[in-house]
Amino acid sequence: MKKVVLMASLVLGLAAISGAQSGTALLNAAGATFPYPIYSKWFDVYHNAHPNVQINYQSIGSGGGIRQLLAGTVDFGASDGPMTDEQLAQSKVKILHFPTVLGAVVPTYNIAGVTGDLNFTQKALAGIYLGQITKWNDPEIAKANPGIKLPGEDIVVIHRSDGSGTSYIFTDFLAKASSDWKSKVGTNTSVNWPVGLGGKGNEGVSGLVKQTPDSIGYIELIYAVQNNIPYGKVQNAVGKFVKADLAGVTAAAAGSAKDMPDDFRVSITNAPGATAYPISSFTWLLIPAQIPDAVKKAVIKDFLKWMLVDGQNYNEGLSYAKLPKPVIAKETKAIDLIQ
């Protein structure tokens, strides 16, 4: 009996230690894995600057972010595929999109002996993911890479197994690159992939590519950089092969900055311009326009303001491009829409 009481008080004491300090604002968010590295950095820095604010962001994929936001289980979501009109209609509250960073989706690969940059034509990428191009030494790939010895091995295609904004961006590009893809598969966060293995999150795909020889996967640029996985150049709308970098992504966004719609939902894949990187995209935070909790509302608005000014300074260090100035100005005004 005494032992039981002792145990119980021990555990209760433990539970008490981790009890809430008064005045702590706890926010829960979930969504895209694409910007997870920069978001986790931001929330960490913000927390250090405001120790009584904790923003718990879980990277479960854009599909998850949208779903949990609609279900109301998180305070805000994140996605690299903008919400469709149907999805927005499902929400009782209006949902606002706030672009945060610009990023690139890159084709990474793991081929023995190939350490340099491979050039991928638009047809090649579409063909690989359609399952029509099955070997690495296929002419479509070989002709763009004259100096490189490609093996005759089967291509191990890797895609996302979860609902993903990165998939959205990639399939958006493929739909523009190939009418075949557009009609057979389409663009969405979760599609019926013709071939390939599924990895969970950008993390899962990176992990699979790293461990699987002769594989190809599409991931956000920073994941390739942080994990030292080679990634190739992609042919853009005017036919040039561009390797993903900050300049290429910024060039891709240049046109959109002027014509940015009010709800910020825009696609910049396959953008015109000689230096534009064709698989670029904005990524958005999904914020409800009405937030009943005053504390949370204040935190979110403050964080957004911080993000648009100080936060942007961390982008380039993690291989994301900064938002164009006109977009930042427009967003700053839009913050006032949050009631």
Partner 1 sequence: MVTSATPIDNAAAPPAGLRTFVQRLRDGDQIAHIITLVFAATILLITSLLVYELWINSGLSRSKFGLMFFWTRVWDPVSGDFGAAPFIYGTLVTAVVSLAIAVPLGLAAAIFLAELAPRRLSDGIAFLIDLLAAVPSVIYGLLGIFIVVPLMRTVVGPALKSTLGFLPLFKGPNYGVGFLTAGIVLAIMVVPFIISVSREVLLTVPREQREAALGLGATRWEATWKVVVPWARTGIMGSVFLALARALGETMAVTMVIGNDPKIATSLFAPGYTIAAVIANEFTEATGNLYLSALIELGLVLFLMTFILNGLARLLIVATERGGGRPS
Partner 2 sequence: MSDLRLTWRKSLNVVMLTLTGVAAFAVVSVLFLILGYLIWNGGKSLNWDFFTKLPKPVGETGGGMANAIVGSMKLLFLAAVIGLPVGLIAGVYLAEFGGKTFSFITRYTTDLLNGVPSIVMGIFAYSLVVLPVKHFSALAGGLALAVMVIPITVRSTEEFLRAVPNSMREGAMALGASKWRTIATVILPAASGGILTGMLLSLARVAGETAPLLFTAFSNRYWSPGWNQPIASLPVMIYTYAIAPYDDWHRQAWAAGLVLLALVLIANLGCRLVLNRRGSYRSV
Q: Which residue has the tokens 């990524």?
A: 283
Q: State the minimum distance, in angstroms, from the CB of residue 76 to partner 1.
A: 16
Q: Which residue has the tokens 């949050």?
A: 338
Stretch that binds partner 1, among 118-126, 154-162, 264-272, 277-285 (CB under 8 A): 154-162
State the number of binding residues for partner 1 (CB under 8 A): 34
Closest CA to 169 of 233, 104, 224, 112: 104
Stretch that binds partner 1, among 104-112, 153-161, 259-267, 288-296 (CB under 8 A): 153-161
Chain centroid offset of residue 88 CA = 19
* 15 lies in the binding site for partner 2 (CB under 8 A): yes
Closest CA to 58 of 46, 49, 67: 67
Q: Are strands 53-59 and 25-31 parallel, antiparallel or unpaired?
A: parallel
Find the farthest-apart pair of alpha carbons in the chain and give their distance in angstroms, rounded: 80
**Which of the choices partner 2, partner 1, none does residue 275 contact, using the CB cut-off of 5 to 8 A by kind?**
none
Sign of the alpha-carbon dihedral angle for 78, 79, 80, 85: negative
Structure tokens at 183: 């009609």
* 107 lies in the binding site for partner 1 (CB under 8 A): no
Residue 311 makes CB contacts below 8 A (sequence gap 6+) with: 42, 45, 100
**What separation in angstroms does the CA of 198 have from each of 19, 78, 157, 323?**
39, 21, 9, 31
* 186 lies in the binding site for partner 1 (CB under 8 A): yes
* 76 lies in the binding site for partner 1 (CB under 8 A): no
**Which of the choices partner 2, partner 1, none does residue 67 contact, using the CB cut-off of 5 to 8 A by kind?**
partner 1
**Which of the choices partner 1, partner 2, none does residue 218 contact, using the CB cut-off of 5 to 8 A by kind?**
none
* 190 lies in the binding site for partner 2 (CB under 8 A): no
Q: Cα separation of 123 and 160, whole Å? A: 21
Q: Do the beta carbons of residue 115 and residue 230 sit within 8 Å?
A: yes
**Which of the choices partner 2, partner 1, none does residue 66 contact, using the CB cut-off of 5 to 8 A by kind?**
partner 1
Site string for partner 2, 205-234 (x = CB under 8 A): -xx-xx-----------xx--xx-x-----
Cα angle 57-266-246, degrees, rounded to a multiple of 5: 70
Structure tokens at 244: 């993903």
Q: State the minimum distance, in angstroms, from the CB of residue 111 to partner 2.
A: 17
Site string for partner 2, 49-88 (x = CB under 8 A): -----x-xxxx-----------xxxx--------------
Three-state secondary structure call for residue 58? strand
Residues 9-48 that bind partner 1 (CB under 8 A): 30
**Which of the choices partner 2, partner 1, none does residue 26 contact, using the CB cut-off of 5 to 8 A by kind?**
partner 2
* 36 lies in the binding site for partner 2 (CB under 8 A): yes
* 190 lies in the binding site for partner 1 (CB under 8 A): yes
Q: Cα separation of 17 and 127, whole Å? A: 57
Residues 204-233 that bind partner 1 (CB under 8 A): 208, 211-213
Residue (56 or 290) nearer to partner 2, CB = 56
Q: Do the beta carbons of residue 199 and residue 160 sit within 8 Å?
A: yes
Q: Are strands 76-79 and 280-288 parallel, antiparallel or unpaired?
A: antiparallel
**Interface contacts to partner 1, rule CB under 8 A:** 30, 60-68, 70, 87, 90, 154, 156, 161-163, 186, 188-193, 196-200, 208, 211-213
**Interface contacts to partner 2, rule CB under 8 A:** 11, 14-15, 18-21, 24, 26, 28, 30, 36-37, 40-41, 43-44, 47, 54, 56-59, 71-74, 199-201, 203-204, 206-207, 209-210, 222-223, 226-227, 229, 318
